[in-house]
């Protein structure tokens, strides 16, 4: 039994924002654990490179370039990946964005951009995958990549904090509604992670000091630091866990 606790052999996953950073690390981690992986992001060339790495591990991969904020494309997108890979057992809603602004300077356009991808697209992807999982009749796992900002406020992130707090609550509602179908819905909430998208503001010494101020381990995360939590929530090891948001925050929210 021990060897099967984190074994995803025979499972199929879909990962959004899979071309780089956290999403790429998660996709490769799922493949290393035995899953076939469907990849979604806006840039096909990045997805194809990740797909090659997954296939080199002996797993199947499907890559589809799409803008998931175009919600009318979500159902067909999920169906395309299901057909390519033979169903869907795991969804990782990872795609997201942040537009740091002082609250007095937030524009309607910026607010909508953040909400559309972080919350709206994540919900409707979960909805489409949830329908597919219910039709398949074999349960499944949905894992939403949230943030410590869903639980604690950070400056210049009013829209981002609101989107992640909303995603945390959606996670709990879906867990309540879909438990009878054997679908476990959880979240992973990282602290500041060094990626291509975050390196700009983390390079600012003043902001970096702020980012580490309540970090008990005094180190920023890497994409690989998020992977273990996702594998756990996707695997048999977490079969009694649903409606939970797992903090990967170096103790930030312990304060």
As annotated, the active-site residues are: 160
The residue with tokens 């602004």 is 101
- Structure-token pair, residue 102: 């002082």
**Left if phi > 0, otherwise alpha if psi is -120 to 50, otherwise beta: which for 232?**
alpha
Q: Widest CA span of the chain, in angstroms?
A: 55
What is the C-alpha to C-alpha distance for residues 113 and 115, in angstroms, rounded to an integer? 6
The H-assigned helical ranges of the chain are: 21-32, 44-56, 74-85, 108-115, 122-136, 158-178, 199-202, 205-212, 223-234
Rounded distance between C-alpha atoms, residue 44 and residue 117, angstroms? 18
Spatial distance between the Cα atoms of 85 and 94, rounded to a whole number of angstroms: 20
* Cα atoms in the 13 Å half-sphere on the side-chain side of 88: 33
How do strand 90-93 and strand 245-248 relate by DSSP bridges? unpaired
- The C-alpha atoms of residue 5 and residue 172 are separated, in whole angstroms, by 24
């Amino acid at each position: 039994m021990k060897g099967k606790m984190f074994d995803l052999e025979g499972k199929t996953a879909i990962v959004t924002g899979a071309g780089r950073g956290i999403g790429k690390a998660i996709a490769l981690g799922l493949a290393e654990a035995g899953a076939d992986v469907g990849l979604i992001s806006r840039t096909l060339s990045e997805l194809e490179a990740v797909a090659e790495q997954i296939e080199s591990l002996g797993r199947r991969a499907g890559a589809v370039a799409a803008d998931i904020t175009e919600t009318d494309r979500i159902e067909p997108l999920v169906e395309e990946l299901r057909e390519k890979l033979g169903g869907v057992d795991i969804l990782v809603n990872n795609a997201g964005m942040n537009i740091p602004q002082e609250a007095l300077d937030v524009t309607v356009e910026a607010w909508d951009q953040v909400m559309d991808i972080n919350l709206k697209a994540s919900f409707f992807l979960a909805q489409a995958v949830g329908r597919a999982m219910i039709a398949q009749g074999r349960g499944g796992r949905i894992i939403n990549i949230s943030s410590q900002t869903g639980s604690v406020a950070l400056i210049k992130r009013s829209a981002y904090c609101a989107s992640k707090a909303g995603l945390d609550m959606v996670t709990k509602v879906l867990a309540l509604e879909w438990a009878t179908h054997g679908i476990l819905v959880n979240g992973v909430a990282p602290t500041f992670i060094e990626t291509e998208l975050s390196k700009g503001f983390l390079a600012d010494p003043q902001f970096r000091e702020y980012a580490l101020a309540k970090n008990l381990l005094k180190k920023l995360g890497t994409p690989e630091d998020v992977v273990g939590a996702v594998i756990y929530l996707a695997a048999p090891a977490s079969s009694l866990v649903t409606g939970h948001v797992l903090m990967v925050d170096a103790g930030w929210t312990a304060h």
